[in-house]
Amino acid sequence: MDFLQLSRARSQAQVDFPEKVRCHYQDPLVESKLAQSFCQFLYQYQVSPCEPIVIVGIGTDRSTGDSLGPLVGTKLNTFAKKSFHIYGTLDEPVHATNLNAKLEEIHANHKDAFVIAIDACLGRLENVGMITLASGSVKPGAGVQKNLPEVGRIHFTGTVNVGGCMEFMVLQNTRLSVVMKIAQNIANIIFYGYHKFLISSQQETALTK
């Protein structure tokens, strides 16, 4: 994104920036499309390139369907650890039992950070496989009737299976293959989208000097 494109993107975002964008994980352009949208979300929220970014991968490795958040955290931890503060991995998951404590820890250690949440969700059959990037917080546990605090300024969700009844069983019987592919997509989207944002910000700074 060059300076002219950046300026147009900022102007366009102020007019009709979408609250939510979605793309199926099997779309060959899923990562490029959502990385661009993620970059635009960071501009829309006026995130500074110097501002710390906290990634919160919500879920547990004890349930296949609910392992999306920890998988994303683990993948980012392997190749983007220096770019983000990552909470929620397969080794140290953030889930219903410790979510409140982890949010207090994040607030204490990164008070002014921009928080991005990642969580799995259930949905309609036609939406299974969709990756959604949306403004605002995610409400973890809503699909399984858990009352948990909301997380994030923006969030990613992956629709891993069909919802409607017996959600715990559905999550337990979700295909790991689908969850792994969605997790890899989201990790790449965050990494490439953030670095696109940093490069564009540097170009803008250079051109305005």
The pLDDT tens digits of the residues spanning 20-76 come to 999 999 999 999 999 999 999 999 999 999 999 999 999 999 999 999 999 999 999
Q: What is the CATH number of domain 3-199?
A: 3.40.50.1450
What percent of the chain shows pLDDT beyond 90? 73
Q: N- to C-terminal Cα distance for the chain?
A: 19
**What is this structure's pTM?**
0.89
**158, 183 in Cβ contact below 8 A?**
yes
Which pLDDT score, from 0 to 100, does residue 151 have? 96
Question: Is residue 140 predicted with pLDDT exceeding 90?
Answer: no
Which pLDDT score, from 0 to 100, does residue 81 have? 83
User: In the chain, helix, strand, coil percent, each to 5?
Assistant: 50, 20, 30
Which pLDDT score, from 0 to 100, does residue 183 have? 98
Out of 12-16, 45-49, 100-104, 118-122, pick the least confident.
12-16
- Residues 181-194: tens digit of each pLDDT: 999 999 999 999 99
**9, 41 in Cβ contact below 8 A?**
no
Which pLDDT score, from 0 to 100, does residue 157 have? 97
Which pLDDT score, from 0 to 100, does residue 4 have? 45
User: Chain-wide mean pLDDT for the chain?
Assistant: 89
- Residues 75-110: tens digit of each pLDDT: 999 999 889 999 999 999 999 999 999 999 999 999
